[in-house]
Amino acid sequence: GYDAAAKAAILASIAFHTRVTADDVYREGMTKVSAADFASARALGCTIKLLAICERLVDGEGQERVSARVYPALV
């Protein structure tokens, strides 16, 4: 997940014209994904891959922030 988080930080920084570091990215790696999880995914015709999502969010007061996260997802 560290490599994906670093890449997500670079892409978010470029896309949103703000500094995002790898430490700013919420990260979950594949270590908690079991062989049974992969077998279940295969049975559904899917697999599990790391997914990176970067987005600009606006709170109720109009303040903007960038959210970046990397985690295992069924695809």
Distance CA 17, CA 40 (A): 40
Of 2, 4, 5, 7, catalytic: 7
Whether residue 70 contacts residue 3, with contact meaning beta carbons closer than 8 Å, is answered with no
- Report the distance separating Cα 8 and Cα 11, nearest Å: 5
49 is catalytic: no
Catalytic residues: 7
